[in-house]
Amino acid sequence: MQQPVVIGVSIGVAIAVKGGVNHADLARRADVALYRVKNSGRSGFLVFEERMTRESTQIAVAIS
């Protein structure tokens, strides 16, 4: 008998304009968005916004 398989997907998106950010920064931005999705309950997607960098920095400073 076949059992249904349920999966969840979390996606972080970073959009770049030509000459904007380098590859490492683009990947970091997508990662920030990804972890924001995971922390909000998973199974979703989020497009990176610049304010996320500031918020992540503030959290890191508060933790240390």
Between 8 and 53, residue with greater pLDDT: 8
Residue 25 included in any domain:
yes
Closest CA to 15 of 49, 64, 54, 59: 49
Between 53 and 41, residue with greater pLDDT: 41
Range of the domain at 25: 10-63
Overall domain count for the chain: 1
The pLDDT, as a whole number, for residue 64 is 58
Residue 4 included in any domain:
no
DSSP character for 49?
-
Residue 24 included in any domain:
yes
Residue whose tokens read 């380098």: 22
Residue 23 included in any domain:
yes
Residue 2 included in any domain:
no
The amino acid sitting at 56 is S
DSSP letters, 2-48, are --------EEEE----TTSS-HHHHHHHHHHHHHHHHHTTSSEEEE-
**pLDDT tier for residue 57 given thresholds of 50, 70 and 90:** low
